[in-house]
Amino acid sequence: MNPLNLWEITPGLATVVLGTALLGLATGALGSLAVLRRNSLMGDALSHAAYPGLLAGFLLSGTKSVAMMVLGASIFAALAQWLTGLLIRSTRVRPDAALALVMGCFFGFGMILQSHLQQNPSAAQAGLKDYLFGQAGLLLEEDIALLAALALLVLVALVMGWSRWKIITFDRAHAVSLGINVFFWDVLYNFLFILSVVIGLQVAGVVLMSALLIMPGCAARYWTKRMSTMVTLAGASGAILGVGGTFASDQLSWPPGPTIVLLGFAWLIISFFVRDIRKKRNQYSGNSAKISDALHLGGVGAN
Amino acid sequence: MSTPAIEIEDLTVAYGERPALWDIDLKVPTGVMMGLIGPNGAGKSTLIKTVMGLIKPAAGTVRIFGKPLSETGSRVAYVPQRSSVDWDFPATVMDVALMGCFGRLGWLGRPKSIDRQTAREALARVGISNLATRPVHQLSGGQQQRVFLARALVQKAELYLLDEPFQGVDAATESLILDLLRTIRSEGGTVVVVHHDLQTVADRFDQAALLKVKLLASGPVDEVMTPELLQKAYGSSGAGLVTSRDGHP
């Protein structure tokens, strides 16, 4: 490997770097909400469920039309989400089982659709299988526009409704009691979530999509005691992981999606260990804080 | 007679086939401190959740200060059970107290310095000013309950509905909550508390409502906490639960 080549950025590579950064920003920020809401698995379920929709979009349009495929995938993901909710509400199936059931059924349908499409030569050439494992290397400039629009939409929604996201995530019942329209914010959250998954499929693939959503949030939780910092940090680290992972994949000739995910995992491990050291240090100062509480409150802190 | 704080008519709530509340008619006058009493599964929490619009009733109406809930804005403060939220949440004590003002904020709104001042005063009233910057996951049960109360105070409501606020808190917090609720009442507020400790009902509340899916009785404490009615709610052991307070089983 010639070290001089390290900084030689071809236009193709620049596109991929920009694309993965934008996707990392959107999924990192939005995914940290999913982590706090304890529906991290929703990302995995939705990406699997979106796959047959993607293929249906191809089947209907006859070409690899991004708009049709995103539309098809969105419809299937929304259907899967609605079905999961229905199962939880009206049967004895528990939420985790409902997610697994819906994910399996939809993905199974996707595999059948795929084997049917493989016999069609134009489909085989379109590289539909790439959506299973992601193919960030194939990102084009028009994909960048889509990813930029997604990132902008997520950021605007988060900033505009910040007090709403915060209160609904911490205490939904309290939000309802204040007269906040929780239904609207849930619909918006689901809409953004589905859109991120569907648009991210091309980069990360069905299998790795949820890691992209969850890992920045999980890591960010270790570094802060404020939700605003956590979401900001998750978005920023998602973008940095996208950039770093893409460069690393280019150097190592590894596929970009998995490289980003492995880098993210390394970041999570680092966060865990650094925080662990911090926690041990804080336990020491925490004890003295408890003693000062006790002095102020006459032992109120003890419970 | 002035408009009651809460007026419930023919209220029925069902979880699936099983009725949780059956044909409840209840008036809570303004300026009282009412205990909502009943055995486990009697529907106490369900009743206040329905009043707050968290559960949709199968039938019946709820009016608050003579209006439907959707028109009362932040005049009603709800203090859920401590265990209803995940306390491993990235927020400080101050952050959670400030959430009490979020009902007044628009979409783009952020708490203003006056809201922060209100929150600081609320934290002082519940005796945890020194914990303002503490992450909430480090709090004890009593401190968590105090944060919830501070959040409700920030809301500046006229009616307070509290779900088991005395559950699992230390003695100091218990007496602080009681003093605080009495102050709210003396300032003209109305307080309704889901409560399960029969022995303390007479000391703490001036009104009581006895619930066992149906409303068995409501009114001044001494009219509700009679051996006959308690036996109806709790079975044969119920009557003894109250008299044992004086040492006579």
In a domain, B1, yes or no: no
Chain A residues whose beta carbon lies within 8 Å of the beta carbon of residue B168: 303
Over pLDDT 90: what percentage of chain A? 57
Pick the more confident residue, B227 or A168: A168
Flag if B103 and A180 touch (Cβ within 8 Å). yes
Through-space distance between the first and last CA atoms of chain A, rounded to whole angstroms: 62
In a domain, B175, yes or no: yes
User: If you average pLDDT over every residue of chain A, what do you get?
Assistant: 86
Q: Predicted confidence band at A5 (pLDDT cuts at 50, 70, 90)?
A: low
Task: Give the gyration radius of chain A's Cα atoms.
Answer: 22
Give pLDDT, residue A11.
82
Average pLDDT over residues A138-161: 92
Give pLDDT, residue A124.
62
Residue A300 forms contact with B (CB below 8 Å):
yes
In a domain, A214, yes or no: yes
- Domain limits at A79? 8-297
In a domain, A303, yes or no: no
Residue A292 forms contact with B (CB below 8 Å):
yes
User: Over 80: is that where the pLDDT of A276 sits?
Assistant: no
Flag if B127 and A38 touch (Cβ within 8 Å). no
**In this predicted model, what pLDDT tens digit does every residue of A184-233 receive, in sequence order?**
999 999 999 999 999 998 888 888 899 999 999 999 999 999 999 999 99
- Rounded to 5 degrees, φ, ψ at B81 are -65, 140
In a domain, B212, yes or no: yes
Give pLDDT, residue A2.
47
Please choose, from the candidates B86, B186, B94, B202, the residue with its C-alpha nearest in 3D space to the C-alpha of residue B137. Answer: B86
Flag if A177 and B53 touch (Cβ within 8 Å). yes
Give pLDDT, residue A285.
57
Average pLDDT over residues A65-94: 91
Chain A residues whose beta carbon lies within 8 Å of the beta carbon of residue B101: none
In a domain, A163, yes or no: yes
**In this predicted model, what pLDDT tens digit does every residue of A87-116 receive, in sequence order?**
998 898 998 899 999 999 999 999 999 888
Q: How many domains does chain A have?
A: 1
> What does the block give as tokens for B22?
């059956």
Measure in Å the smallest separation between the Cα of B79 and chain A Cα atoms: 8
User: Over 80: is that where the pLDDT of A292 sits?
Assistant: no
In a domain, A293, yes or no: yes
In a domain, B40, yes or no: yes
Chain B residues whose beta carbon lies within 8 Å of the beta carbon of residue A279: none
Average pLDDT over residues A62-77: 88
Residue A269 · residue A217 · CB < 8 Å: no
In a domain, B190, yes or no: yes
Q: What is the pTM of this model?
A: 0.87
Query: Which chain B residue has its CA at the smallest distance from A159's CA?
Result: B108
Chain A residues whose beta carbon lies within 8 Å of the beta carbon of residue B135: 225
Give pLDDT, residue B61.
93
> What does the block give as tokens for B126?
């519940």
Rounded distance between C-alpha atoms, residue B213 and residue B143, angstroms? 32
Question: Count of CB atoms within 10 A of residue A40's CB?
Answer: 16
Residue A232 forms contact with B (CB below 8 Å):
no
Q: Predicted confidence band at A288 (pLDDT cuts at 50, 70, 90)?
A: low
- Domain limits at B58? 6-246
Burial of A94 (0-12, 13-18, 19+ CB in 10 A): exposed
**In this predicted model, what pLDDT tens digit does every residue of B204-247 receive, in sequence order?**
999 999 999 999 999 999 999 988 889 888 886 655 555 444 44
Query: Which chain B residue has its CA at the smallest distance from A38's CA?
Result: B86
Flag if B107 and A160 touch (Cβ within 8 Å). yes
> What does the block give as tokens for B47?
């009743």
Give pLDDT, residue A246.
92
CATH number at residue B222: 3.40.50.300
Query: Which chain A residue has its CA at the smallest distance from B110's CA?
Result: A163
Flag if B172 and A298 touch (Cβ within 8 Å). yes
In a domain, A3, yes or no: no
CATH number at residue A235: 1.10.3470.10
Q: What is the DSSP letter of B82?
A: G
In a domain, B53, yes or no: yes
**In this predicted model, what pLDDT tens digit does every residue of A224-241 receive, in sequence order?**
999 999 999 999 999 999
In a domain, B159, yes or no: yes
Average pLDDT over residues A262-272: 94
Chain A residues whose beta carbon lies within 8 Å of the beta carbon of residue B91: 166, 170, 225-227
ipTM field: 0.89
Question: Count of CB atoms within 10 A of residue A10's CB?
Answer: 9
Pick the more confident residue, A284 or B83: B83
Q: How many domains does chain B have?
A: 1
User: Over 80: is that where the pLDDT of A28 sits?
Assistant: yes
Identify the segments of chain B with pLDDT beneath 70. 1, 236-249
Rounded distance between C-alpha atoms, residue A290 and residue A295, angstroms? 9
In a domain, A1, yes or no: no
In a domain, A192, yes or no: yes
